[in-house]
Amino acid sequence: MNNSRYYHFIFIFMLVLFSLNYFSAKIASGGALKNISYAFMLGTILLSLPHFFRKASGFVLPVQIISFSVVFSILMAYISWGQQLSYSVSTIPYLIWFSFFFLLHKKYPIELIERVVMIFGVAYIVLYLFQFLHSDTVYFGFREEFVEDRGIVRILFPGAGVFFLAFFIAINKSLEKNAYKWFYIGFVLMGVGVTLLQVTRQSIGLVAVILLFHYGRKASMAMKVGVVALFVVGIIYLQGSDIYKGLAETQKETVSEGDKYIRVIAGEYFINDFSPNIMSRIFGNGLPNNTSSYGAFTTYLEDVYGFYLSDVGIIGVYVMFGIFAVLSYLYIFYKSFRMRVPEKYYYLKYYTCLLLVTSLTSDAVYSINFMITNVFVLYIFQYLYEYEQQMKWLQKVTAEQELQTVS
């Protein structure tokens, strides 16, 4: 690895590490480690600013709008809720959207980003299993994310964005001819196990559909039989397990609640009653800092009514960052599914599908646990888009030159 690629690798590695705040490790929840991560992110944002105003093609415009919406929401939190501007430091992790423009300026190789994501994907699985085996002590994340629920100690381990993106990359590469084929197959198997242990219905269902779709299309007959056999064995095992019973009971409760389902009630409240004025209904209310009066009110809603912004997905984007950010996300979903990409990059589609499926019930669209991988996915989409446009331009120029030669 030459010096340039080495420094690029270090930068991307540190960007992921600090954006995830070391997988929300307890030892990094304050002090020097947290300050280092915030300083690095702020430096990256400042480096990205000169490249913010570029031609609005492909995915550039929606990312510009989302980035601006996050910045403007700092002012809206002050206007609408009296949250002092000094609290805006907590918004820095959400401003990592700006790194999209620095990545485009530097043209970081896609393979480099994939490699770093896979490294953190492996780290996620190792650290999750460590935390799962030591669930009596919180080493990563927060105690409220450790729940004796659905027949198991359910740990919503922080940093899920790198896990899912690495998982989808591994699915893609497990069918390609490469020296690490069996590593990717092993990662897929471990990823399925971790997904089942986290007992999240949408994730389990989506992973099952994507696996069947991907391997059903391209795999050899032996691998297709293996995948089907794995699902059959898994279903037989789960039917007799506490996990299956817990999932079934939760599903029954959700169906029986109907329109009284707490997420529905919370969504209606945040849309209709939360914003104090017309400006905040358009431009958002800003990110609540837990130590401000605004943050105290959102904590009150969580503790008393069970209304969590993180439970209402893209409605949370609307509440904090406004209607234009929501429209930008909708455009991103539309553009990403409409755009054709080479088969080896199908993981981009799978990841975007995950965001769309969970966009009403989780905070994956804006959470710091997903933020940096959201940026990476859109960067790769834009990289491929610009490459395609360049190829079209070259073909046009070549055709014109050939026409002039003939003439």
pLDDT tens, N- to C-terminus, the chain (407 residues): 567 888 999 999 999 999 999 999 989 888 899 999 999 999 999 999 999 998 889 999 999 999 999 999 999 999 999 999 999 899 999 999 999 999 999 999 999 999 999 999 999 999 999 988 888 888 888 766 666 654 567 788 899 999 999 999 999 999 888 889 999 999 999 999 898 888 787 888 898 889 888 888 776 676 666 666 666 666 566 555 555 455 445 444 444 444 457 889 999 999 999 999 999 999 999 999 989 999 999 999 999 999 999 899 999 999 999 999 999 999 999 999 999 999 999 999 999 999 999 998 888 999 999 999 999 999 999 999 999 998 888 887 877 777 777 66
C-alpha–C-alpha distance, residues 329 and 342, integer Å: 23
Range list of H helices, 82-142: 99-106, 110-133
Give the CA distances from residue 18 to residues 6, 21, 109, in Å, rounded to whole numbers and listed in that order: 18, 5, 20
Phi (first) and psi of residue 199, to 5 degrees:
50, 50
Both tokens of 181, joined, read 């084929």
User: In angstroms, how far is the first alpha carbon of the chain from the final one?
Assistant: 48
Residues contacting 43, CB < 8 A, separation 6+: none
Q: How buried is 322 (Cβ within 10 angstroms: 0-12 exposed, 13-18 middle, 19+ buried)?
A: buried
80: tokens are 């609408």
Give the Å distances, CA to CA, from 154 to 20, 133, 141, 163. Answer: 20, 12, 13, 17
- Residue 392 tokens, joined: 């079209």
The contacts of residue 1 (CB under 8 Å, 6+ apart) are 9
Give me the amino acid identity at 56. A
Q: What is the pTM of this model?
A: 0.89
Residues contacting 174, CB < 8 A, separation 6+: 181, 184, 185, 188
β-bridge mates for residue 152, sequence order:
149
